[in-house]
Amino acid sequence: MRTEQYISTAFGTIVTNPVGAWRHPYFLPVNIPRELVLSPESLAAVSRADLALGRLSGLAMLIDDPELLLGPSMAQEALASSRIEGTQASLSDVLSAENADEPIDDENLREVNNYLNAAAEGQMLLQKWPLTQRFICALHATLLADVRGDEKFPGELRRSPVWIGSPNARPETARFIPPHHEQIGDLLADWERFVNEPSTMPVVLRAALMHYQFETIHPFLDGNGRIGRLLIGFMLVADDVLSAPILPISDYFERNRDQYYDRLQAVRERGEIEEWVQFFCEGIEQQAKRAAARIRALVEVRERYRRETINDRSALTSVIDLIFRNPVITVATVMRHAEVSRPAASAALRRAEARGWLVSAGRWGRGGRERWIATEIWAAVSDGSKFEHEARGNEER
């Protein structure tokens, strides 16, 4: 680690005295500040992000069943967060795997599916647990179950040093070496107090500091980025800003991956906390506006579909709820949800196709089951940019 680049001690110091057998310097962060004096530019960024979140929250409260709109949004969040860490998968494959009646063979898809499972577990645990070490370790155990990294003690804090850099980096060439593992306990204790204690600090600012500190502590051997990004949504829920983690913040981080890492590192090296806050708040604002636009589009489509089938008593009405939870659907999915026979489920899909709701996207998976994609919903959750390419690609394999 090039210690000469760490010219500020505002948010941490370089520790050069060896600890046990560890001979290399590492970064030791200070406790999270409970007060922060910001420039007018940073305060404006915080205000805009708060306003966008408030509008998103108000819109979400008008939806009679928010779970109908959470599924595709969370799938995209899981995909983007996993892609930041190098996972290779497509949204169509992720959504297809959710409806598969078979084990997921592809390790990339298992990683994204584990993220979805961790997100669902977090929503359940948040009803009874605060954001604590116990909470994050539970999510971590789920995230790393039976995937790359499952040998790195899922659900347990690291008990050895780590370093961050290129795949072949060594401590000497690493860009960043997080605090020694013997100091994780004290650092996480302060992190826990910060995220749970009453505060007059705007929640967006608190979330920015929370995420920075978590990534800097780097409490696990693997999966820190994905857990840290999950915690942003959970903190907004815990602070009653959102009723569910419907903000796809990882999409912003993925689009700006290099800047994301650079801004985190600049706090450590040069104390550039305001630049990180502005970058973070810009992401919150952008993604809150995109999420709100997506919800408005989905609600409009759903209400139109409901009006079209107001007098319909067939399984077609069940298809509506299904495709808003997941726009990739199969006959088996309809059979399970509507509790109807295969012929009735097939007939419902054909009727939905005749109405222009669905198109066949070919067969997928080991069983070669036919998939149907709800095109209007797909366009809303994926910006309409990848559906045709992905559908053709999977049909041909």
Q: What gap in Å lies between CA 39 and CA 206, rounded to an integer?
A: 16
- Taking residue 267's Cβ as centre, other Cβ atoms within 10 Å add up to 24
Q: Do 320 and 334 form a contact (C-beta atoms < 8 A)?
A: no
b/e per residue 230-266 (b: at least 16 CB within 10 A): bbbbbbbbbeebbebbbbbbbbbbbebeeebbebbbb
Q: Name the maximum alpha-carbon separation found in the chain.
A: 75
Q: What per-residue confidence (pLDDT) applies to 296? A: 87
- How far apart, in whole angstroms, are the C-alpha atoms of residue 96 and residue 105? 13
**Amino acid in position 139:** L
DSSP-assigned letter for residue 59? H
pLDDT at position 368 is 63
Q: Any idea what DSSP says for residue 198?
A: -
End-to-end CA distance of the chain: 45
Query: pTM for this structure?
Result: 0.90
* pLDDT confidence of residue 317: 86
Query: What's the pLDDT at 171?
Result: 86
Which positions of the chain have pLDDT values less than 70? 18-20, 64-69, 99-102, 148-151, 364-368, 383-397
* Nearest Cα residue to 114 out of 338, 352, 122: 122
Structure confidence at residue 277 (pLDDT):
98
User: Of 81, 13, 4, 23, whose CA–CA distance to 245 is shortest?
Assistant: 81
Domains for the chain: give ranges and CATH numbers: 3-293 (1.10.3290.10), 309-396 (1.10.10.10)
Q: Tell me the C-alpha distance between 163 and 147, whole Å.
A: 21
For residues 100-139, one letter each, b for 16 or more C-beta atoms within 10 angstroms of the residue's C-beta and e for the rest, the string is: beeebeeebbbbbbbbbbbbebbbebbeeeebeeebbbbb
Q: What was the pLDDT predicted at 214?
A: 98
Beta strands in the chain (DSSP E): 12-15, 26-29, 328-329, 358-364, 369-374
In whole angstroms, give the CA distance from residue 174 to residue 38. 31
Residue bearing tokens 């370089």: 14
94-144: pLDDT as tens digits: 887 776 666 777 888 889 989 999 999 999 999 999 999 999 999 999 999
Q: Is 155 left (phi over 0), alpha (psi -120 to 50) or beta?
A: left
Tokens representing 317 are: 């009405």
Question: Order of strands, edge to edge, in the sheet holding 328-329?
Answer: 328-329, 369-374, 358-364
